[in-house]
Structure 1
Amino acid sequence: MASTLLRKVWGTVLARAVPRDPDASASSSSPRRRGAPAAAAAEYGSLGALDAVPIDVLAQILRLLGPADAARSAAVCRTWRLLASDNALWAFFLSLGPDPWDLVVFAETHLAAGSAEPRSVYFGTVRVPPQLSFKRIYGQRALVPGSIIVDGGSGYCKYGWSKYAAPSGRCATFLEFGNIESPMYARLRHFFSTIYNRIHVKPSARPIVVALPLCHSDDTEAARASRKQYKETLYSVLFDMNVPAVCAVDQALLALYAARRTSGIVVNIGFNVTSVVPIFQGRVMREIGIETVGQGALKLTGFLKELLQRRNISFESLYTVRTIKEKICYVAADYEAELCKNTQASCEVDGEGWFTLSEERFKMAEILFQPQIGGVRAMALHKAVSLCMDHCYNYEVLRDHSWFKTVVLAGGSSCLPGLPERLEKELHKLLPPYISEGIRVLPPPFGTDTAWFGAKMIGTVSTFSDAWCINKKQFRQKSRHSGSSLVNAWR
């Protein structure tokens, strides 16, 4: 089929290339050179009868042949090898894949080297990937088997296969599995067994990428020991279930990757708390400090419930309140000005009918910036972010003062309309100009599934198995070591 297509295209091109005027053919260069710059034409050798075909037409023929036949054509001769190895050709093939082209380029240029080493932060020795060969990347990505992705969020868990366009299911987090007094190993085992049963995949069939919820965020010996113990238990459970390879990455880091960044501040509005996480070159900067705000999605939903009860609006469950919050609530750009407007809107909740709200729509989210109006004793969100930025600016080890000026929102409640603009506005008002200049607040790039898509980027990168995963043998070797080397390995 490929040879037939090639003959047809070649015949058509040759028919068009035959000059009708003999004088014109004598005075002009060959059609092949007319179809490409002189420098490009000089790069390729003779193709025999195909010298009459312009180079750009040959490239189009290879595109029509497809990746498999284009790769085989490289075995014909040196000239065909040059044509079939062209980066533009394989970039075209990659762009036809299921993943967006910009995400593919970011993953292969910034994530192919694996997770950041702690030492690289202080000396600025970031590993730069060699000259990209999209042909090699295409071949390696085709060989990546695909992985199971589990985003163990603080509210609920999302899971699915990395080859899917979105998570295939949701369930409770591992914290809600089993008896809360049960050992961590038993609860994690129950949790992952449930996940594998729901997706009908044997644990030994695929590697797994686990998005770790932020816990024990302090930079103390006790917190490091707790994080180390949690990760060791996680790896032990999965390897005891015969999972071939495991990749465990912090949720905040995955959200940053999904926004095509490796440095910045992630504001993760979780179920119970909101975390402000500074990240530099793919590493959570715990020594700078992670700010924690004592309110999250549960407080927002609870305050909206209280506002509805004040107006004698009846509902059956918190699920109804959460649905209303997701459908018609938003963050006011100017709270006082919004109170003077007509903001009435309605939405329908399945099984309960229509609900009409007015100022409750934006009052609910205002407790993020004015916690006192909801009776919440917590730091305001913009003050927590500004405090984190101030710590980043004064961190003497890093002289670059621009890395923390990109703020990425994550978590379900961060999808509220108007939140990025309001937070950016408050930061500019609160911070001095030498810090606030250049600040950008980005909404969650993939909504509530942002961390899952960050894990998907890692799970499909061409170097996934070698650069990001740890297998059972490597885990046992690490476990034999003791002292500071083991602590650093599990940070």
Structure 2
Amino acid sequence: MASTALLALCSAGAFSGLAVEAGAGVCHATPIYAGHSWQEATFRLDVAGSTLSRYLRDLLVAAFPDLQLRALPRKAITQLKKRCCYVSLDFEGDLLNPDRHHPATFCLGNGCSVCLSSERFRCPEPIFQPRLLGQTKPGLPALVFQALQKVPARLRTRLADTVVLAGGSTLFPGFTERLEMELEAQCRRHGYGALRPHLVAKPGRGTAVWTGGSMVASLRSFQCHWITRAMYQEYGSRLVHEVFN
């Protein structure tokens, strides 16, 4: 058992930093120092991949009422989201200017195809603006900043130097640039202009937690943390607490 935030950092070769996870279910911003999670400085956003897929379905139903897209399989919606959607660097400006919508056609596999316009960048926007889904929490950039703000001042710069992105929802084109832009704006707005967060966005970050776990499991120092099936059968569940605590 291990913190997914720590494993995300391990995938980037770090044991201290800030893990920004955006997967299927939730988003987290978790500071890690010397391999330990800072729970009181961890922030959660209940908008992630599954939420965005449902939102995209609603956008498509509104845009194409005659195609009965409400019954479209979730797998098709997910493929559409991955292939066509991107994060806008100027959401309001792009929304108001049709010349900046960059339409894309996607075949639904049932003989129909749809031409997406603003839906392409409206889909991932709730990660940055949860109010679009009726939520009152701030977006992910603000939560990342709050996580940095919560850690002791002496460690803030060190953790900001390694902001590791992890999870499939960080793979949208434009995600890294938008997060970096808004995070820097948050720092300036709140008097932390000298703080320069450095985002680490590796190509394989969609499976960063798995990669980090495989790296940790291969370390010699980790071998004492294994529990075999025979050991568990002999000592029971109390062994889990003894080994992992």
Same topology, TM > 0.5? yes
Counterpart for residue 336 of structure 1: 92
Per the alignment, in what secondary structure is the counterpart of residue 261 of structure 1? Answer: coil
Instruction: Work out which structure has the larger RCO, using CA pairs closer than 8 Å and 6 or more positions apart in sequence.
Output: 2
Counterpart for residue 148 of structure 2: 389
1:284 to 37, 60, 63: 37
Counterpart for residue 179 of structure 2: 423
Counterpart for residue 465 of structure 1: 223
Deviation of 1:314 after TM superposition, in Å, equals 3.9
Deviation of 1:462 after TM superposition, in Å, equals 4.5
Counterpart for residue 180 of structure 1: none
Which deviations, in whole Å up to 9, do the C-alpha atoms of 1:442-470 show, x marking residues without a partner? 2254142221111121233345424x434
Whole-angstrom distance in 2 between the partners of 1:277 and 1:352? 44
Deviation of 1:476 after TM superposition, in Å, equals 4.4
Deviation of 1:418 after TM superposition, in Å, equals 0.9
Whole-angstrom distance in 2 between the partners of 1:351 and 1:461? 49
| Distance change in 2, residues 1:298/1:478 (3 Å) | closer
Identity of aligned residues (%): 27
Whole-angstrom distance in 2 between the partners of 1:450 and 1:428? 24
Partners of 2:184 and 2:196 within 8 A in 1: no
Counterpart for residue 128 of structure 1: none
Deviation of 1:382 after TM superposition, in Å, equals 1.1
Q: For 1:465, give the aligned amino acid.
A: Q
Deviation of 1:336 after TM superposition, in Å, equals 2.3
Which deviations, in whole Å up to 9, do the C-alpha atoms of 1:360-416 show, x marking residues without a partner? 000111111122223334321111111111101xx26xx233222122122221211
Which deviations, in whole Å up to 9, do the C-alpha atoms of 1:58-94 show, x marking residues without a partner? xxxxxxxxxxxxxxxxxxxxxxxxxxxxxxxxxxxxx
Counterpart for residue 356 of structure 1: 115
Whole-angstrom distance in 2 between the partners of 1:301 and 1:366? 12
Counterpart for residue 345 of structure 1: 104
State the Cα RMSD in Å: 2.8
Counterpart for residue 48 of structure 2: 296
Q: For 2:149, give the aligned amino acid.
A: D
| Distance change in 2, residues 1:478/1:322 (3 Å) | closer
Partners of 2:187 and 2:195 within 8 A in 1: no
| Distance change in 2, residues 1:378/1:320 (3 Å) | farther
Q: Matches of residues 88-127 of structure 1 in structure 2 within 5 Å? A: none
1:442 equivalent in alignment to 2:197: no
1:400 to 155, 176, 197: 155
Q: For 1:413, give the aligned amino acid.
A: S
Q: For 2:238, give the aligned amino acid.
A: S
Counterpart for residue 266 of structure 1: 19
Partners of 1:274 and 1:294 within 8 A in 2: yes
| Distance change in 2, residues 1:386/1:310 (3 Å) | same
Whole-angstrom distance in 2 between the partners of 1:478 and 1:323? 41
Counterpart for residue 163 of structure 1: none
| Distance change in 2, residues 1:380/1:352 (3 Å) | farther
Per the alignment, in what secondary structure is the counterpart of residue 21 of structure 2? Answer: strand
Q: For 1:331, give the aligned amino acid.
A: V
Deviation of 1:256 after TM superposition, in Å, equals 1.0
1:308 to 36, 57, 60: 60
Q: For 2:123, give the aligned amino acid.
A: M
1:455 equivalent in alignment to 2:210: no
| Distance change in 2, residues 1:403/1:314 (3 Å) | farther
Per the alignment, in what secondary structure is the counterpart of residue 262 of structure 1? Answer: coil
Per the alignment, in what secondary structure is the counterpart of residue 402 of structure 1? Answer: helix
Whole-angstrom distance in 2 between the partners of 1:301 and 1:355? 16
Per the alignment, in what secondary structure is the counterpart of residue 279 of structure 1? Answer: strand
1:374 to 116, 125, 133: 133
Deviation of 1:265 after TM superposition, in Å, equals 1.2
Whole-angstrom distance in 2 between the partners of 1:349 and 1:299? 20
Partners of 1:370 and 1:380 within 8 A in 2: yes
